[in-house]
Amino acid sequence: MELNVRNVNVFGYVRSVLMKKENKLLFVLLIIIIIFLSAIIIGIVAFKLNSWHYSSVAHDRFDQVIEMQKANIHHAKITYDDYDYFENGYVMEVYYDDDFDIRYRYIYERERDYVYVTAYLNNASLDLTDRKGKYDYFISVHFDEDGKISEVSKR
């Protein structure tokens, strides 16, 4: 009888040791999962904050260019206002009420910190048509480190 009790105690001891190792393994796996999920959450938050900052800088630059053109953005229809991966920049497309047939496209590139403006009439570039736009178009507007307009060049 004593032999059976010892055997049970030995198996019980081995079982308790195995359970401790399994618990350690589960604990390590849980820590790894928590670190992985934390990295994903931090990455998503950083991406959203970067996108928000890029959007606010682009809108600030657009406002300066529109003010330089002496256009009134409050009397305009904005049809597109988002990041465009094809253009590799933040894009805003505007139809002004006093020049409604022409679509002005403002593109901000963060890497070079400049906005270029193009104009279209029925999806054709305005330089290919006989129409003239009321506001400046086909211009590149460069900004300095303070965010002020430093150079305007006609393309």
What total number of domains does the chain contain?
1
HSE-CB at 67 with a 13 A cutoff on CA atoms is 8
CB atoms within 10 A of CB 91: 18
- pLDDT, residue 21, reads 65
pLDDT tens string, the chain, 155 residues long: the values are 444 544 456 556 655 655 666 677 877 888 899 999 999 999 999 999 988 999 899 999 999 999 999 888 888 999 988 988 888 889 999 999 888 889 999 999 988 889 999 999 988 888 888 888 888 889 999 999 888 989 898 87
Domain span including residue 142:
1-155
Whole-model pTM: value is 0.72
